[in-house]
């Protein structure tokens, strides 16, 4: 079985080669060169917007710059989805680098706000990550399995890390219960027998304490 630290390292240091290209209808004073970055899979697009914006501001007038947003092949990219999840849902079968189009106008009206409330968020999240000492672990594992279907974009329900007989549930148990057609999450070498309490609760969780996976249906 893969060492715990190896799983943590693979999750944390995963990178996606990405090419940001300015939308063709944006007004520029000269040709805009593409901007290349290695994006961390566990990060969010909001954390790289300043770098991308500064790059393209060099060829644009200030009055032509408004709120920045990104899209991939016509699909707006959601700010609140982890970068790795966005790539898996939309572009995992395409060649690298991942080509993202940059817009400064016509932002989608129902886009999630990029404004944060850091202190308020952690005040709540800290409580969610605490549990009584006598329980010796979380009562439920928070998770989401994302799907490419628009009717039900993700699956989310309560799942206990420990079975009624005291045995620790595995990632395979979770998938069999909530998404039987799915295969193991990408990048974990089919370690579906890994104990869910550790793998889901600690190794594979994103910064907001949720575990996110794409559903890979068998062909």
Q: Is the pLDDT of residue 18 over 90?
A: yes
pLDDT tens digits, 19-39: 999 999 888 888 899 999 999
Q: Of 65 and 205, which is predicted with more confidence?
A: 65
Q: Is the pLDDT of residue 183 over 60?
A: no
How many Å apart are CA 201 and CA 17, to the nearest integer?
Answer: 28
The answer, as to whether pTM is greater than 0.75, is no
Residue ranges of domains in the chain, CATH in brackets: 1-103 (3.10.20.620), 136-185 (3.10.20.90)
The whole-angstrom distance between residue 7's C-alpha and the CA centroid of its chain comes to 17
**Closest listed residue to residue 91, CA positions, set 158, 17, 154:** 17
pLDDT tens digits, 57-81: 899 887 777 788 999 999 999 888 8
Helix (H, G, I), strand (E, B) or coil at 20: strand
- Which of 49-58, 117-126, 156-165 is predicted least confidently? 117-126
């Amino acid at each position: 079985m893969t060492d715990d630290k190896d799983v943590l390292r693979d999750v944390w240091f995963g990178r996606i080669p990405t090419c940001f290209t300015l939308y063709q209808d944006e007004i520029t004073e000269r040709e805009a060169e593409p901007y290349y970055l290695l994006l961390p899979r566990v990060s969010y697009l909001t954390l790289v917007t300043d770098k991308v914006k500064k790059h393209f501001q060099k060829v644009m007038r200030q009055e032509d710059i408004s709120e920045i947003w990104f899209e991939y092949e016509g699909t707006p990219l959601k700010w609140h989805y982890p970068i790795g999840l966005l790539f898996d849902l939309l572009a995992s079968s395409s060649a690298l680098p991942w080509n993202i189009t940059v817009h400064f106008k016509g932002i989608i009206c129902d886009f999630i706000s990029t404004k944060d409330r850091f202190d308020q968020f952690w005040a709540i999240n800290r409580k969610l990550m605490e549990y009584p000492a006598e329980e010796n672990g979380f009562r439920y594992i928070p998770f989401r399995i994302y799907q490419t279907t628009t009717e039900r974009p993700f699956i989310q329900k309560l799942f206990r890390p420990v079975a009624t007989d005291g045995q620790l549930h595995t990632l395979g148990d979770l998938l069999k219960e909530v998404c039987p057609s799915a295969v193991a999450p990408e990048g974990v070498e089919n370690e579906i027998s890994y104990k869910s309490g550790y793998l889901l609760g600690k190794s594979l969780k994103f910064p907001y304490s949720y575990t996110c996976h794409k559903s890979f249906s068998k062909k």
